[in-house]
Amino acid sequence: MVQNAGIEVALCSEQFGSGAARGCRAAADGSLQWEAGGWHWWGFSGVFSVKPEGRDGGRGGTPGAASSPLSGLLAVFLPQGFPDSVSPDYLPYQLWDSVQAFASSLSGALATQAVLLGIGVGNAKASVSAATATWLVKDSTGMLGRIVFAWWKGSKLDCNAKQWRLFADILNDVAMFLEIMAPIFPICFAITVCTSNLAKCVVSVAGGATRAALTMHQARRNNMADVSAKDSSQETLVNLAGLLVSLLMLPMVSDCPSLSLGCFFLLTALHIYANYRAVRALVMETLNEGRLWLVLKHFLQKGEVLNPTSANQMEPLWTGFWPSLSLSLGVPLHCLVSSVSELQQLIDGHQEPYLLRWDPSRNQIQVVLSQTAGPETVLRAATHGLVLGALKQDGPLPGELEELRNQLQAGPEKDCWVIVKETHQVLDKLFPKFLKGLQDAGWKTEKHQLEVDEWRATWLLSPEKKVL
């Protein structure tokens, strides 16, 4: 630092990420003495010197050389730029995820021991060819299950990543329980281990896909690869710790099946609890159907938009797979109409680039999307469908919607077309306010996690004017 009217002024300064800046001053021997204020988070304290180049053979101290072992350890297991380079929920999620991975590693060791015992390891009468055949059938069953599940549910995993993540870990516990029970019933051993491996392959697809979706959410500096790599390092460290503990645990429980089963149930309880806490810690800033319904319901009742933190805390994790309203976005037009009159009835009142059909008796909403429908159009279409669903439920609604609900309860179901048309007019006023409220609250409306099929269509609004 230099003197300026009795005040020392820093020659230069630097900071790491969002940490506090640290300055430096000139030492008597011409070296730079750096302050350590900006390094407290990394565990560094004290002032260090950087000598001019060439002095002492050019091997002067550097700031990096003075950092503590803790900073190096954090650099190995955390993404570069942490915590600014990741989402705010990264640390609580990863901590609970590490706890569940440790519990799962110990449970897996117990299950593996049971499978090896059932195959015949340690039994002189066991047949090598029979054990090999059982193992091959087990693996082939799992491979087929992996392909079928990816085809069946692959497109749905992004929409409800938290629910599928929790489902995958619970299914993994079920699979390990089957493996532990398999040696107890040797007649059904092959069927049991095949079923278990089938479940584990479903777990690998659902778990891997949802982990990728969560990595996209956590990466904030276009650093998905780094976040994924460090997550793998953390998991490897946890599994290594689990392996060492397993080496101590297995000899103590191997001769006592009841103790082994008790340890498994205890670890399973810890595993499920840690998984729940990890998933509950996530704050997704994009809207899926569940979060959109929570935010919209609160907006209709109180005129306020929930922020992502509040909505994610309220989001159901156990029942998110079975919404009460059947909302289908991107359905084919030919499934909704079979005549010109039906097409005209569907188009009537629709000025937005989507067509909506509502079946109140089955609580079903089907939406045909235009070729030019973007994220905002999809979001409005989903909001429209959920507003119609709100008419079938209890709870306060704005005046115009309350009137429509009274009409619905009093009139025949053929009037549903009139109600759909009138809700278009309500949304013309309501949706712009709702959309602005979402953006102001911190939601990312330029993308969404709504489940949308690939069908698109074009239609005419009137004989005089073509649309799209």
353 and 257, same structural domain?
A: no
DSSP assignment letter at 254: T
246 and 352, same structural domain?
A: no
Report if residue 72 sits inside a domain: no
Q: Does residue 189 or residue 135 have the better pLDDT?
A: 189
- What residue has token string 């005040």? 7
Decide if pLDDT at 97 tops 80.
yes
294 and 245, same structural domain?
A: no
263 and 335, same structural domain?
A: no
Decide if pLDDT at 38 tops 70.
no
Per-residue model confidence (pLDDT) at position 447: 93
Quickly state the pLDDT bin for 183 (edges 50, 70, 90): confident
Domain count along the chain: 2
Tokens representing residue 105 in the block = 């590693």
DSSP assignment letter at 96: H
Report if residue 408 sits inside a domain: yes
Report if residue 424 sits inside a domain: yes
Report if residue 66 sits inside a domain: no
Domain containing 96 equals 88-281
Per-residue model confidence (pLDDT) at position 349: 75
Quickly state the pLDDT bin for 55 (edges 50, 70, 90): very low
Decide which of 281, 307, 334 is a domain's last residue: 281
Quickly state the pLDDT bin for 7 (edges 50, 70, 90): low
Quickly state the pLDDT bin for 432 (edges 50, 70, 90): very high
Q: Does residue 73 or residue 79 have the better pLDDT?
A: 79
* Nearest partner of 153 among 127, 171, 135, judged by Cα: 171
User: Measured between alpha carbons, how far is 388 from 394 in angstroms, rounded to an integer?
Assistant: 12
271 and 294, same structural domain?
A: no
Quickly state the pLDDT bin for 230 (edges 50, 70, 90): very high
Q: Select the highest-mean-pLDDT range: 126-130, 227-231, 342-346.
A: 227-231
State mean pLDDT over 35-53: 49
Q: What is the mean pLDDT of the chain?
A: 85
Decide if pLDDT at 18 tops 60.
yes
Per-residue model confidence (pLDDT) at position 465: 41
Decide if pLDDT at 64 tops 70.
no
Per-residue model confidence (pLDDT) at position 241: 97
138 and 219, same structural domain?
A: yes
94 and 242, same structural domain?
A: yes
Decide which of 231, 256, 281 is a domain's last residue: 281
Quickly state the pLDDT bin for 10 (edges 50, 70, 90): confident
Specify burial of residue 90 (Cβ count, 10 A radius: 0-12, 13-18, 19+): buried
Per-residue model confidence (pLDDT) at position 4: 53
**What are 295-310's pLDDT values in tens digits?**
999 999 999 999 999 9
Q: Select the highest-mean-pLDDT range: 116-125, 196-205, 400-409.
A: 196-205
466-467 and 364-369 strand pairing: unpaired
Report if residue 139 sits inside a domain: yes
Report if residue 124 sits inside a domain: yes
Lowest mean pLDDT among 9-23, 63-77, 181-195: 63-77
Please say whether the beta carbons of 253 and 260 come within 8 A: yes
Amino acid in position 31: S
Decide which of 281, 308, 338 is a domain's last residue: 281
361 and 267, same structural domain?
A: no
Report if residue 55 sits inside a domain: no
User: Measured between alpha carbons, how far is 234 from 215 in angstroms, rounded to an integer?
Assistant: 14
Residues 6+ apart with CB under 8 A from 31: 49, 50, 51, 52, 55, 60
329 and 254, same structural domain?
A: no
329 and 263, same structural domain?
A: no
Quickly state the pLDDT bin for 461 (edges 50, 70, 90): low
**What are 268-289's pLDDT values in tens digits?**
999 999 999 999 999 999 999 9
Report if residue 441 sits inside a domain: yes
293 and 277, same structural domain?
A: no
**What are 391-413's pLDDT values in tens digits?**
888 888 888 888 888 877 776 65
104 and 245, same structural domain?
A: yes
Return the CATH number at 126: 1.20.1250.20
Cα-based distances in Å from 177 to 107, 108, 141, 181, 183: 9, 10, 18, 6, 11
